[in-house]
Amino acid sequence: MISASLIDDLTRIVSDAGAAILRVRAGSLDKRDKADGSPVTAADEAAEAIILAGLAALLPGIPVVSEESVDARPEALGARFLLVDPLDGTRELLAGRDEFTVNVALIENGTPLLGIVAAPALGLVWRGHVGHGADALQLDPGNGPEQARECTPIHTRPWGASAVALASLSHLDATTAAFLDRLPGIERHSCGSSIKFCRLAEGAADVYPRFGTTCEWDIAAGHAVLAAAGGKVVNPTGEALRYGQAQLDFRVPAFLAVGDPARLEHLIQR
């Protein structure tokens, strides 16, 4: 069972990781490139260390797959495991922008059940428990949820006459751009990291397509928040995403996230 106290404890862990990122950002990020060419910094590693230690104490025995230590993952994940991206939007961080996030998701039978997404530089946290709703907190990094300045339930919105599409700021591919071009009259915004899922969840936008490859830990927490708020995330043919695909190196070839599920069939036809 997922209790309110467990959600709060996970929120504290994510908040502490966000505070660590900001402390590192105030000094030297020590940027270097990983084998796949993507950047990693001391902030990624500081956040991951806090999250892994916190999860080991809070949920002992539940396997964890985390971006910066994916090679050390357990061989068997089982029906329930955690997906962690300690710093999504490293390129935004390096560019001096504030659209980077900390992400923790609980996966059950291949489906996101619970997600926590924090944007520490913005003082925001989004949380979602699928089937039980989602909320947004104004929370200073390092503080617990009981210290939130505001906690507001969030919901997606119906697709309206003036819809808003969100696109990746650093990873917009040609196929996604072409899909957006085929949506007449839609307003297009670009932003970084998993914040895009959260903007859909709180009813500030309507669709977020990505037809380029990403990783499960990049999207699992945002997926849970959006699903808990009434939205949906599917592959381009409308099928549910499955998480824990170690045989695919935890890669997601493409997805379509939408606030109003009633609009999905039309979007898939596009």
CATH architecture of 164-269: 3-Layer(aba) Sandwich (3.40)
Is the model's pLDDT at 8 over the cut of 80? yes
- Cα separation, 192 vs 1, in Å, equals 33
Q: Which residue in the block uniquely carries the two structure tokens 């996604």?
A: 176
Tokens matching residue 180: 């957006």
- For the segment 29-65, what is each residue's pLDDT rounded down to a tens digit? 999 988 888 899 999 999 999 999 999 999 999 999 9
Q: What is the pLDDT of residue 185?
A: 84
3-state DSSP assignment of residue 81: strand
Sign of torsion over alpha carbons 156, 233, 184, 180: positive
Is the model's pLDDT at 145 over the cut of 90? yes
Q: Which among 51, 35, 105 is positioned nearest to 249, based on CA atoms?
A: 35
Is the model's pLDDT at 104 over the cut of 80? yes
Which fold, 4-154?
Fructose-1,6-Bisphosphatase; Chain A, domain 1 (3.30.540)
Q: What is the pLDDT of residue 116?
A: 98
**Domain boundaries, given as residue ranges, for the chain:** 4-154, 164-269
DSSP letter string over 97-153?
A: -S--EEEEEEEETTEEEEEEEEEGGGTEEEEEETTTEEEEEE--TT--GGG-SEEEE
Rounded to 5 degrees, φ, ψ at 171 are -135, 35
Range list of H helices, the chain = 4-25, 42-58, 90-94, 174-181, 195-201, 216-228, 264-269
- For the segment 182-208, what is each residue's pLDDT rounded down to a tens digit? 888 899 999 989 999 999 999 999 999
